[in-house]
Amino acid sequence: MENTVAKKVVLSGIQPSGTLTLGNYLGALRNWAQMQEDYLCYYMLADLHTITVRQVPAEFRQNCFKTAAIYLAAGIDPQKSTLFLQSMVPAHSQLAWVLDCYTMMGELNRMTQFKDKSTRHEDHINGGLYTYPVLMAADILLYQADLVPVGKDQLQHLELTRDVAIRFNHAYSETFKIPRGLTNETGAKIMSLSEPTKKMSKSEMGDGTIFMLDSKDVVMRKIRKAVTDSDGEVRYAEGKHGINNLMSIYSAITGKSFDDIESEFAGKGYGDFKAAVGEVVADELGKLQSEYERYMADKAYINQLLIEGSERASYVARKTLSKVYRKVGFYDPTK
């Protein structure tokens, strides 16, 4: 008998604010590609979120195009998933305003990411940065997402999404599906090579971040310089942040457990281990970079994919927005 059970819906996105990192790949993109067979996936370029921090317009436009190419190179298949630009789907901004009116100030005041980003961008603390979590809620709820792949730093925002959706449902009857978070424990949070207690970041300018387009020589150099400890033993343990991070990277790419890695490098020093990590990272990224260059050479193809994907996303999003508008009482003179 044919399986008629509808696939669960997944929604996720990354900000196109510069070259994506190894952390973006291992923690998100690679997992997204694996989910396409089992879920109905919507993957967006979160460009509306990106402008909470000032962008250089020409660079920003190019970064959107490059990020789309990276999505494709990482295995996002437009025949299986909907790939779209957030700013090309007006319903995101429209629903965000409605949800703003159902989100309490106290809830937004508790958002730790706003406090963190305000510290790092003291010269540009804007309203968009403050209400960012409400736009994220709109992103998720528009597509009636069942699951949202999130890093641990976004779980608070997802919880706010759930709270706002439940509040709206109680006020107007069932309107939004209540989403759940989906975290990937292995490789879910790749840390900086230079400050292994902090997440690997696109904005870091030193050697702590491996970018997805870094050459093999650059990858090897950055990993050789990675902060470790004086213990000298390749083992996963509390307090060994640098080695734990490198083991997480090696495990995520090779599929080996931490026990397997400890056995493989028993009696060997950090130099041998770093060389091995560098090789597997460079090999993984090298394959991706070849695909990336192929997509970058065909601008018309990527543009058409983004147009078609954004149209498909808009069709779904408008259905949810129409339902919301009707329930809150907006007048529609066409009906």
CA dist., res. 317 & res. 302, Å (int): 22
CA dist., res. 217 & res. 279, Å (int): 10
Of 123, 129, 114, 150, the closest CA to residue 31 belongs to 150
> Does the annotation mark 115 as catalytic?
no
CA dist., res. 28 & res. 26, Å (int): 6
DSSP state of 179: -
Please enumerate in sequence order all residues whose Cβ is within 8 A of that of 27, keeping only pairs 6 or more positions apart, or say none: 151, 184, 187, 188, 189, 190
Please enumerate in sequence order all residues whose Cβ is within 8 A of that of 176, keeping only pairs 6 or more positions apart, or say none: 141, 144, 165, 168, 169, 320
> Does the annotation mark 177 as catalytic?
no
145-154 b/e with 16+ CB inside 10 Å = b? bbbbbbbeeb
Spot the catalytic one: 66, 117, 222, 240: 117
Output the CA–CA distances (angstroms, integers) from residue 85 to 42, 67, 74, in the order listed: 11, 11, 17
Spot the catalytic one: 199, 222, 240, 274: 199
- 12: β partners: 43
Please enumerate in sequence order all residues whose Cβ is within 8 A of that of 181, keeping only pairs 6 or more positions apart, or say none: 147, 148, 149, 150, 155, 158
* Residue 123 burial by Cβ neighbours in a 10 Å radius (0-12, 13-18, 19+): exposed
Of 93, 73, 96, the closest CA to residue 85 belongs to 93
| Contact indicator for 285, 214 with CB cutoff of 8 Å | yes
Spot the catalytic one: 177, 189, 202, 256: 202
The token duo for 1 is 């008998």
> Does the annotation mark 202 as catalytic?
yes
Q: Which residue has the tokens 């979590």?
A: 133
User: What residues are annotated to the active site?
Assistant: 117, 199, 202
